[in-house]
Structure 1
Amino acid sequence: MINESYKQMLGAKSVIRNLAEFATKRGQIIGYENVFDFSLGNPSVKTPDEFTNVMIDLLQNENPMKLHGYSPTLGDPSFKEEIAKSLNKRFGMMYRSEHIFPTTGAAGAIAHAVRAVTKQGDTVLTFAPFFPEYKPYIEGCGAKLKVVPADTTTFQINKEEFEKMLTSDVAAVLINTPNNPSGVAYSTKTLEYLADFLTKKSEEYKHTIFLISDEPYREIVYKNADSPYVSKFYPNTLSCYSFSKSLSLPGERIGYVAVNPLCEESDCIVPICGQISRGTGHNCPPSIIQQAVAKVCDLTADLSVYEKNMEIIYKNLIEMGFTVLKPSGTFYILPKALEEDSIAFCNKAKEYDLIFVPADNFGAPGFFRMAYCIDTEKVERAMIRLRQFVEEVYGKEI
C-alpha cells in the first residue's frame, strides 16, 4: 500500500512551481521574452569563471578515484576545512572542520539541522513571512511547525506574538535572513533581542532552545544594509547555507550546516547529521562539487545586477502607489497588493503577462512576491506593463 501522507501532498503542489510552469507554457505561445515572469527565484547571473576553471582542472588532472569516489560520510575534508577557515576569517568565528557538514543545498542543511535538535512532537517556531517548504522539512521529521504572525510594518520579529508562542515545547526557532520573500534582513537590534530572549527562555524551561539560521542569501546584501552574521549573537546556532545564490550554482545542490563551536554538544551534532543521512538516504553531495567549491568558497558571482533591478522596481512601485519595504538584500521584494485579495490581484496581473506570486502561503496574505533575478532590460519593460495594468484595472493615474 502506498504512503497516503505523500499521496495527499500531490494535491498541494508549490504555487511558485505552478506559476513558473504557466509562464513557460505562455512563453511557448507569445515568446518567453514577452512574459514578465517574477515567479521563480532562480539565479540569473553567470557562474564565476574561476569555478569553471577549477572544474576543468580537476577533471583533467585529479585522480579519478578521488574525484568520483564516495565522499566520507561526514563530508570531504578539504571542503570542511576551507569552509571553516572562510567563516572564521570573515566573521571572527572559531569553527573547525568537524563543525561543518556538507549537504545538498540549504534545504538539505535545514532538514538535517531540524532532525539533529528535535524529537517527535517538538515544536519549531518560524516567523512570517517564511519559505513555505519549511512545512514539509519540519513535519517530515515528526516535529510541528508554528508560525509567528508577521509584523508587516517592518518585517522584523513580531515580538509580542513571539513571546506568547515561545512555550516549553519549542525545541528550535528557524529564521531566514535576508528573508525570502520580503528581502528584509534582521538587524543587529533584532538579533540581540532574539538571542537574549532565547537565552532567558532556555534557562526558564531548563532545556536549550536552538536557533536554526537559513542563510542562502547571506552574500546578496545591499549597500548600507544592517545584516550581521547570526551565529555571532547566540551560541546555540546552526547555520544553514547554500552556494546556489552566491556562486550561481543552484543545480549543483551544494551547501552545509555550520555548528557554532560554542553550541551545546557542538562536537556531537555533525556526527549526528551523518547518522541522519543514513536514515534518510541523503549521503553527501557529489565529491567533485565539494572539491571544486572548496577552492572558490570565498568568491561570489557578480551579484550587483540584483541591487540594480531592486532599485528600478522599488522606485516604480512607490511611484505607482504600492506600499512596500525596500529590501536589504536577496532578489525578492514583497509589495502589498492593490486589493485585499492578493490571489485575485495576481490572477488579474496574469492577464497582462505579469507573473507574481501571492504571498498567502508565505504567511503574508494581501502581499505578493516578485523574484527579480531576471535581465535588467526585461525588468524595465515589465515596469511599463505594470503601469498599464495598474492604470487600466485599478484606475490609478500615474
Structure 2
Amino acid sequence: MIAAYIRDSVESPKAGVIRKMFEEGARLKKKYGAENVYDFSLGNPDLDPPDSVARAVERIASDNAHGTHGYMPNAGYLFAREAMAKKTEAEQGVSVPATHIVMSCGAAGALNVVLKSLLNAGDEVIVPSPYFAEYDHYIRNHAGAIVRVKTKEDFSLDCSAIAKALTEKTCAVLINSPNNPTGRIYSAEDIASLSNALREHGKKCGRMPYLICDEPYRAIVYDGKKVPPVFPFYENTVIVTSFAKNLSLPGERIGYLALNPACTEADAFIAAAIFSTRILGYVNAPAFFQKVVASSWNAPCDYSPYEKRCALLKEIMDYAGLEYAKPDGAFYLFVKVPDAWKGDDLAFTDHLKKYNILCAPGSGFGGEGWFRIAYCVSERTIIGSREAFYKAVHDKA
C-alpha cells in the first residue's frame, strides 16, 4: 500500500503543479503545434552553457585513465571542493576552507542533506512566502514542520514577523534570493535584521537557529543589482546552490553546500552532512560534472537575453492590464490574478489554458492570488503570447 502522505500529496490539486503544467504543455503542443502554445510553466533555462563547459566536457570525456570511474569521498573530489571554496570566497568575502564544502546532486540534493543533518522530529523551519514549491516536501521528508511567514507587500522580508514566529522548536530559517517565484533580492539590511533576530533568539532559548540560503539564481540579476553576502552577517549560515541556472546545467544535477567558517559547530555539521549524503542514497555528487564545474565555475556568462525577455513580458502584461512584481533577478515574473477572478489563481491559470497559455498558479508557491511566468523561453514565444494574454484577461470566462 502506498504511504498515506505520498498518496495524499500526489492527489492534492496543488501537488507538482509546475510539472503538471509542463506535461500539459507537451500535450497541447502535440495537438496545436509548438508555435501555437505559450508554455511558461517550467524554469528550465534555455541559454546554452558557456563554451568552456563544452570544452571541459570533451576533455574530461577523453580521459579513461585507470580508476577514473571509481568511488570517491562522499563529500566529493577535493579539487572540486577547493574550486567551490574559491567561488564561495569570491561571493561572500570570507575565506572558506575546502573542508566546509560538500558537493551535492544539485541545490535540491544539498538542501535535503542540510535538512537531514539538522532536523529532529517536530523541529520547525521558517520559510518566507512565496517560496519554491518543493520546500514543503523537503522539510517533511526529514520529519520537520514548515512555518510559513508572509513577506511584505513588495515581497521583501518581514523580519519582525519572522522574529515573532521563532520558537524553541525553530531549527532554521530558509530563504531563497533571488526568489523563485517573485525575483526579489533580499537586501543586506534585511539580512542583517534577520541575523540579529536569530542571534537574539538563540541567546534566549539556548539554541542558535541556522540560516539556510538557497542561491541558484545568485548570478542572474538585473539593473546592476547584486545579491548581498550572508556569511558576514550570521555565524550559523549554510548556502545551498547549484549550476543549474547560472551555467544552464539543470539536468546534470550538480551543486554543493558551503558552511560559514564561523559556524559554532562546524566540524559536527560537516560530518553530519557527509554522513547524510551517504545514507540518503546520493553517495556522492555526479563525478563527471564535479570535474566540469571545477574548471568552469567562473566561466563568463551573458544573461542579457533574460533581461530583454523580462522587458518584453512586462510590456505585454501592461498591454493586457495585468499587475506584476518587478523582479530583481532570476527569470520569473510574478503576476497578480485579475480582480474579476477574486484571487482564484488555480481557476485563472486553468482559464489561461483555453488560450494555450501555461503558467504556474501562485498557490503552489504559497502565493495565493498570483501566478508565475517563467520567461526562460524564446522571444518568439513571448511575443506570440501578446494577444493571447489580452484576450484571456478581457474575454468573458
TM tier, smaller: over 0.9
Structure 1 300/273 Cα, relative in aligned 2: closer, same or farther at 3 Å? farther
Percent same amino acid at aligned positions?
Answer: 33
Q: Residues 328-339 of structure 1: matches in 2 within 5 Å? A: 328-338=328-338, 339=341
Q: Residues 46 and 302 of structure 1 are in contact (CA less than 8 Å); yes or no, is this contact kept in structure 2?
A: no
Q: Which residue of 2 aligns with 1:348?
A: 351
Report SS of the residue matched to 1:351.
helix
Q: Please give the alpha-carbon distance, in whole angstroms, between the structure 2 residues aligned to 1:346 and 1:60.
A: 47
Q: Please give the alpha-carbon distance, in whole angstroms, between the structure 1 residues aligned to 2:209 and 2:240.
A: 17
Q: What is the identity, as a one-letter code, of the residue corresponding to 2:134? A: E
Q: Please give the alpha-carbon distance, in whole angstroms, between the structure 2 residues aligned to 1:144 and 1:54.
A: 42
Q: Which residue of 2 aligns with 1:295?
A: 295
Q: Please give the alpha-carbon distance, in whole angstroms, between the structure 1 residues aligned to 2:276 and 2:112.
A: 9
Q: How many residue pairs are counted as aligned between the two chains?
A: 392
Q: Residues 320-331 of structure 1: matches in 2 within 5 Å? A: 320-331=320-331
Q: Which residue of 1 aligns with 2:111?
A: 110
Residue 91 of structure 1 deviates from its aligned partner by: 3.0
The C-alpha deviation readout for 1:114-167, integer Å capped at 9, x for no partner, is 12222121111101001121111111111111111232x210112343232111
Q: Please give the alpha-carbon distance, in whole angstroms, between the structure 1 residues aligned to 2:273 and 2:300.
A: 27
The C-alpha deviation readout for 1:302-360, integer Å capped at 9, x for no partner, is 32211111111123323433222210000111111102211121111111111111101
Residue 11 of structure 1 deviates from its aligned partner by: 1.9
Q: Residues 46 and 301 of structure 1 are in contact (CA less than 8 Å); yes or no, is this contact kept in structure 2?
A: no
Q: What is the identity, as a one-letter code, of the residue corresponding to 1:202? A: G
Moved more, 173-182 or 312-321: 312-321
Structure 1 42/197 Cα, relative in aligned 2: closer, same or farther at 3 Å? same
Alignment TM-score, normalising by the size of structure 1: 0.94
1:370 and 2:373 matched: yes
Q: Which residue of 1 aligns with 2:243?
A: 243
Report SS of the residue matched to 1:232.
coil
Q: Please give the alpha-carbon distance, in whole angstroms, between the structure 1 residues aligned to 2:66 and 2:37.
A: 44
Q: Which residue of 2 aligns with 1:161?
A: 161
1:171 and 2:174 matched: no
Report SS of the residue matched to 2:325.
coil
1:57 and 2:62 matched: no
Residue 106 of structure 1 deviates from its aligned partner by: 0.6
Q: Which residue of 1 aligns with 2:17?
A: 15
Q: What is the identity, as a one-letter code, of the residue corresponding to 1:312? A: L
Q: Which residue of 2 aligns with 1:71?
A: 72
Report SS of the residue matched to 2:291.
helix
Alignment TM-score, normalising by the size of structure 2: 0.94
Residue 60 of structure 1 deviates from its aligned partner by: 1.6
Q: Residues 175-254 of structure 1: matches in 2 within 5 Å? A: 175-254=175-254
Q: Please give the alpha-carbon distance, in whole angstroms, between the structure 1 residues aligned to 2:261 and 2:217.
A: 23
Report SS of the residue matched to 2:385.
helix
Q: What is the identity, as a one-letter code, of the residue corresponding to 2:360? A: V
Q: Which residue of 1 aligns with 2:87?
A: 86
Residue 3 of structure 1 deviates from its aligned partner by: 3.6
Q: Residues 115 and 141 of structure 1 are in contact (CA less than 8 Å); yes or no, is this contact kept in structure 2?
A: yes
Structure 1 316/136 Cα, relative in aligned 2: closer, same or farther at 3 Å? same
Residue 250 of structure 1 deviates from its aligned partner by: 0.5
Structure 1 45/196 Cα, relative in aligned 2: closer, same or farther at 3 Å? same
Residue 170 of structure 1 deviates from its aligned partner by: 0.4
| Runs of at least 4 residues off by over 6 Å | none
The C-alpha deviation readout for 1:202-235, integer Å capped at 9, x for no partner, is 1111111100001111111112325212233212
Q: Which residue of 2 aligns with 1:391?
A: 394
1:310 and 2:310 matched: yes
Moved more, 167-176 or 300-309: 300-309
Residue 293 of structure 1 deviates from its aligned partner by: 0.8
Q: Please give the alpha-carbon distance, in whole angstroms, between the structure 2 residues aligned to 1:236 and 1:198.
A: 10
Q: Residues 248 and 301 of structure 1 are in contact (CA less than 8 Å); yes or no, is this contact kept in structure 2?
A: no
Q: Which runs of 5+ in 1 are unaligned?
A: none
Q: What is the identity, as a one-letter code, of the residue corresponding to 1:5? A: Y
Q: Residues 99 and 261 of structure 1 are in contact (CA less than 8 Å); yes or no, is this contact kept in structure 2?
A: yes
Q: Which runs of 5+ in 2 are unaligned?
A: none
Q: Residues 127 and 147 of structure 1 are in contact (CA less than 8 Å); yes or no, is this contact kept in structure 2?
A: yes
Q: Please give the alpha-carbon distance, in whole angstroms, between the structure 1 residues aligned to 2:194 and 2:320.
A: 36
Q: Please give the alpha-carbon distance, in whole angstroms, between the structure 1 residues aligned to 2:290 and 2:282.
A: 15
Structure 1 312/64 Cα, relative in aligned 2: closer, same or farther at 3 Å? farther
Residue 270 of structure 1 deviates from its aligned partner by: 2.0
Moved more, 74-83 or 336-345: 336-345
